[in-house]
Structure 1
């Protein structure tokens, strides 16, 4: 079939009319005004791997993914020859027990063996500080890129991150510029000595530098999300391709049911009207991105030769060497995975799109566990950021490994006092970026709220009711004080919850959130949590007779306690720690180590 040809003026005009035109152009594009095609480049790409060394499972059945099958596909593609690059757009860290145990170094072994050419740094690379990223960077056989991360000499990351790199492929220099989301200090824990600048200005600077050096084919390898990538394409001249991640965006055949308005790749007009090719590869190694692009002698895109991402299906033969190494790495994890901690009569929904946009039964379960643990200390309300819920749990037996994969960050519970007005401010922050699937979306306990998706951010909360302690709800009193339990990440302002930093009488309990959920499951299994109207979108909360009742007086904890040798803690906290089967002082890993090993495959419900 002949490839359609359009003028650059027509290209710019049609790009403005909607995504349907983008879909058509993305599948077969030749731009009039570009010179004769003299070079083609095939880009194989992944993003948001999140420690998914093994396949994604539904129950006991592998659905897709896994690095051993990824290797089989990559080897086959390399066998076809031609000019190729293998790129990753960041967030290799965090998401399974492999990260809990090996802190990225198991993933690094496979990435080195796959011979990646470059990787962008994602926000999750900083989840437990700079140390694991330092170890990863020192061991990597490929460059780690981010042009908008500025590292002080005092940081252990000094000298380990490159802003961009030039790789020669088929006799041609290819410039690759990395960028990382500017929200990383809010989303993760980069620590001192690392600063994140504007990603668009960083790319613009990189393009100018590379162009001065004679490089005219430039790829932005980004971890900023699809909306930011589109904006980057529209605002910066000189880019040829954007390979992105962060938003976990499926494209083209990755979408089921098919949607012709969401193609792989997208084509977006730059400020000068030249096409910029934009591609994402969803998440977790479910698919392998595969894009071939033609260029003229000036480095302008002539056409999308092929956009053919491949699903990493279970039917693909796994690489034997990788499978052997996975078995070795998996050994210490099997005992942890297999330890039973409870049972659920329903599937627990931790799907990324759901926990970041609406009430889910798993969100309710987690919030309730937080509240139950700290209620003896006066906790009345619980707020859990949806981004802290990383996967689902199928119906049936629940293992320790599954809990740790749902809540892998090792956060602790923090108690603080907020006014009703501050609770509303926290919820406003939580629903302010739903359109971007931001992790700040609030799952709640001890209260319910309504919000309007059409209202401007900051004015979306339309009602809040708090539990009256007798099975009913009353409107929140903006002037009353409420004792609220959250995790230490958002208590410190993470996910935009700066209002929590203004809370008073803060106590970090030391209780790990995963420990608390395990204790709750052990005490109440089988559990059967439901979606029960705690979060109402574009509607109203049930009416409550009477006026707002003042909140019960919260149990206050002195800001400073006398020291008599060692760390002093409130008496209620010591009592809870002693009473709990796991408590804050007994870590899950230590407990599991004392339980007889029982091999069991990882199970992760497909989102």
Structure 2
């Protein structure tokens, strides 16, 4: 395939690009800048389809990308290829990643593919402008957001017929026009890039892949801030064994910039050592901590590292401030932190006190603005849409002016796209606040690009979640992990001190049996729910019922000593315990959904403790439940009162509407759910250890009268 000539005369008019040609201005602008040239025959060939190799060359020149020493990063490109330098440069910049380690230099690019390439290359961010291409339904979902962003920035205006024509090959004229428009889009606006994690809960088995994801973003955006929104502590054996030291080694290696505290950072407060592990975590960190509403002043373990009420212009690593100011590309960025006040009820903070999040947020914003900062990030561990009785990000965004970005945690919310709040608590227009959260357990690395005008107002934003599992392992991080993971393998064989006198089966329906954990009461289901109820009562004595979805019980327990590994195999998802307030009528509705598919299997089939019920599987869905009784403190049962409010316990997955429990989802959205943040496997471990001898039975808690 012929390549454009290297030295076509910039001042000479191409015979196939007259001055009145629609793309003439863009073409001659880029020719004059030496970014693109014509062909050896003196033509430009504006309607020629553009291939990936030529696109990479144009981007390398337009962006002045550095050329790596290694030009063999793709298996189909050798160092002597005409595409070698541009392929390596665009790969290093995160623009062209390739597929199966192949660049595909002669592959023709479509218009939708080019949209993603340009958004990625130039960090373009979206606006509120509506895009009305009539063929948006034809755009591949993976490119749809980028097509919208390209149009919102005025880089593409579509075809004369009002379409974008996503599958059409992009031509040299079109691509040149796109590049020229981007380069001419001169702006004094400031762009900020953020990477964020939250609620990692000591899930380190994927940390080497997280490191790779972070390095890939930094290769393209070296000034990106890396922020964690809390709950690094608790959740796996890595924490139980190393008390945060393992997590911190990786956070230091990955070069986090700042972190706020989650409620689980305070889990050890009632232990003999108190918050020693937390204070050591802070002191050894190579980054700062922000916490505007947490008062550590009464705990001597934090003397010298806690600076309450201080907004630090030059923060020191290993110290706690209400907020800090970081300079990014000459601009001051204010960052403050908040932790849920509910921590006092669901963790063990000891002498550490929690203040009202709205009041402290307003103080922090004012202090930052008094120091000339007009770009402000709140790093929060209060939940995106969590119980408003305590606190959440939606309430914060509406109530406190001046917050531009909220990097959140606590509710384990998977915000696939940033949420923009542009109305205050009274419904009046306000400057935008962008909210992000990246689910849990380091499953994703969140990214956010925000554009500010000269007054510090957000005028554009784009963000996404990068799936960590799709990345290769950073070999350095993988080697670091081995010293910890080898120990964890040993620990999994540790006995809990409990012994099961019987084999606790976890049956599934088969050709020979209709008995299933997803359609029948089981002894193992009873053991798990009894443990949930026992743990929930420690935090809320009014809890009377526990429910566990059968789909979450993944393995049987053998007869004999129970190890930590056994417990983790039974409950591998790390779901947390939640309590919720439901009326008797809502409980009945939940039970109807539980048995709606019986006698067939259903992952949402509920195992129960503190109650018993009967149903008729021969009846239609929604009319199967026959009777429901709730167990009292004295062990006796009384009929469920549909008008009475009860406190029940379940896992957070179900509480938020998992397995299509709409009745639970409504309660969650109404603020009637409290996530205690206690991992299900830890609850089961604690319960069997407490019992010592484990011998649960099927007790006719759930009876199908049709049988």
* Category of TM-score, reference length = shorter chain: 0.5 to 0.7
- Structure 1 partner of 2:350: 191
Distance in 2 between the 1:178 and 1:512 partners? 33
Larger radius of gyration: 2
- Specify whether residues 87 and 286 from structure 1 end up closer, same or farther in structure 2 by C-alpha distance, changes over 3 A only: same
SS in 2 for 1:278: strand
Does the aligned pair in 2 maintain the 1:384–1:443 contact within 8 Å?
Answer: no
Cα distance between partner residues in 2 of 1:164 and 1:131:
23
Map of 2:252 onto structure 1 = 112
1: CA distance between counterparts of 2:699 and 2:472?
A: 39
Q: Structure 2 regions of 5+ residues with no counterpart?
A: 1-114, 116-123, 131-143, 154-185, 270-274, 307-318, 386-391, 509-520, 535-541, 573-578, 588-605, 615-626, 642-672, 676-684
Question: In 2, Cα distance between the equivalents of 1:154 and 1:4?
Answer: 46
Report the CA distance between 1:513 and its aligned residue. 2.2
Partner of 2:333: 174
Match of 1:93 in 2: 233
Q: Is the 8 A contact 1:91 1:124 kept in 2?
A: yes
Which of 197, 204, 216 does residue 76 from structure 1 map onto? 216
C-alpha distance in structure 2 between counterparts of 1:515 and 1:395, whole Å: 19
Distance 1:120 1:3, change over 3 A: closer
Paired position in structure 2 for 1:46: 197
Distance in 2 of aligned mates of 1:89 and 1:182: 15
Q: What are structure 1's unaligned runs of at least 5 residues?
A: 9-22, 55-65, 253-263, 348-358, 373-380, 409-423, 433-441, 451-461, 478-494, 498-510, 535-541, 543-607
Superposed CA RMSD:
4.9
Instruction: Answer yes or no: is the 8 Å Cα contact 1:345–1:528 preserved in 2.
Output: no
1:309 counterpart = 2:465: yes
- The structure 2 residue matched to 1:131, chosen from 260, 276, 289, is 276
> Paired residue for 1:334?
489
Relative contact order: is structure 1 or structure 2 higher (C-alpha 8 Å, sep ≥ 6)? Answer: 1
Given that 1:241 and 1:278 are in contact with CA atoms closer than 8 Å, whether structure 2 keeps it comes out as yes
* Residue 204 of structure 1 pairs with residue 362 of structure 2: yes
Aligned to 1:220: 378
1:287 to 444, 449, 452: 444
Structure 2 partner of 1:268: 421
Change over 3 Å in CA distance of 1:75–1:402 after alignment to 2 = farther
Change (3 A) 1:404 1:167: same
Mapped pair 1:249 → 2:410: no
* Secondary structure in structure 2 of the residue aligned to 1:290: strand
The TM-score normalised by the length of structure 2 is 0.50
Q: How many equivalent residue pairs?
A: 408
State the 1:407 CA deviation.
9.2
Question: Is it true that 1:345 corresponds to 2:501 in the alignment?
Answer: no
SS of the residue corresponding to residue 309 of structure 1 reads strand
> 1:122, CA displacement in angstroms?
0.2
Query: Cα–Cα, structure 1 residues 235 and 395, in superposed 2: closer, same or farther, change >3 Å?
Result: same
Distance 2:523 2:410 in 1: 25
CA distance in 1, matches of 2:280, 2:233: 12
TM-aligned CA distance change 1:94 to 1:406, over 3 Å: farther
Q: CA deviation at 1:27?
A: 7.2
- 1:395 is matched with which residue: 526, 551, 555? 555
Aligned to 2:327, the other structure's residue is in SS state: strand
Q: Is the 8 A contact 1:121 1:223 kept in 2?
A: yes
Contact 1:265 1:307 in 2 (8 A): yes
Which residue of the partner structure matches residue 324 of structure 1? 479
Matched, 1:465 2:610: no
| 1:298 aligned partner | 455
SS at match of 1:190: coil
- Tell whether the 8 Å contact from 2:545 to 2:611 is kept in structure 1 after alignment: no
The alpha-carbon distance between structure 1 residues 126 and 466, as it changes in their structure 2 partners (threshold 3 A), is same
Give the drift of 1:26: 13
Measured after TM superposition, the shift of residue 280 of structure 1 is 0.5
Name which of 235, 238, 257 aligns with 2:402.
Answer: 238
| Structure-1-length-normalised TM-score | 0.57
Residue 153 to residue 396, structure 1, CA distance change in 2 (3 Å): closer
Deviations 1:205-261 (A, max 9, x none): 111000010111100000000021011111111111011000000122xxxxxxxxx
Residue 308 of structure 1 aligns to a residue whose secondary structure is: strand
